[in-house]
Structures are given as C-alpha cells and as structure tokens.
Amino acid sequence: MITTIGKGITVTGTIHAEEPLTIAGTVIGDVLAADYDVTVEPGARVDGAVTARHITVHGRSKGRLIAREGVRVLHTAAVRADVRSPKLALEEGATFNGSVSPARTDAAMRVAAYRSGRPDAAAG
C-alpha cells in the first residue's frame, strides 16, 4: 500500500508514515518514514526534512534529505537541501544547491528519530 498526498492538498506539520509515501501536493514540515520510500512528484513541494529509506525527488524540496539507502534527484527537480545518504543520484537538468555527507547517515537517522519522539525508529 502507498499513501498519496494529493495535488490539491497542503499539509502543515510533521508526517509520520508507516508505509511508502508519495507527495503530489505541498508539505510544510517534516516527513518521517525511516523504513519506507518517499517520492516527491513533479509539481509537488516539501519545505522541511525528509527522512526515509529511499527518497526520489521530481518536484521541489527545501530542507534536509536523510536516506538510509539513497536519494535520487531527477531532471525535473529543484532541491535546496543538505543530503545525508550513502548514495546520491543527480540527473542532468536537475537543480541542486546544498551539501552531501554520506558518512553521517546513521547519526542523522538517529537524530531524526529522536526529534520525532520515536527513538526506536532509528534501529532499522
């Protein structure tokens, strides 16, 4: 099962996902899905930290991207973020402004879990 935040939806606050999440609308706040994949669709926008197993960005993301496995920034994406992930794929044509720290992924996952009030979520 995949949860989708639709194109006409704006969510303000923290999202805790226990399944894969697709964002087609707008999220102003953090997305916490440490054991699942998060996709930001074309035309979608996330202003906040995204913590997931794998993150794929087609739309706009501003904040932190923390992925246990990898981050993909596709040609339609505009990303302004600090990335903490062992892998980063940046397609030609994508806009990226930020930093990448592959060695800090585990620590970033633990911090994100702690901030969410769910320290057990970092165990993955």
Binning pLDDT at 50, 70 and 90, where does residue 2 land?
confident
Amino acid sitting at position 107: A
Backbone CA torsion sign across 3, 8, 9, 12: positive
- Decide if 45 contacts 63 (C-beta within 8 A): no
Question: 120 CB contacts (<8 Å, ≥6 apart)?
Answer: 113
Q: Where are the domains of the chain?
A: 3-115
Report the alpha-carbon distance of residue 104 to residue 66 in Å, rounded: 9
Q: For the chain, how many residues are written?
A: 124
Residue 104 CA to residue 1 CA, distance in Å, equals: 30
Q: Are 103 and 85 in contact (CB under 8 A)?
A: no
Q: What is the pLDDT of residues 34-93, one digit of tens each?
A: 899 999 999 999 999 999 999 999 999 999 999 999 999 999 999 999 999 999 999 999
This prediction has a pTM of 0.85
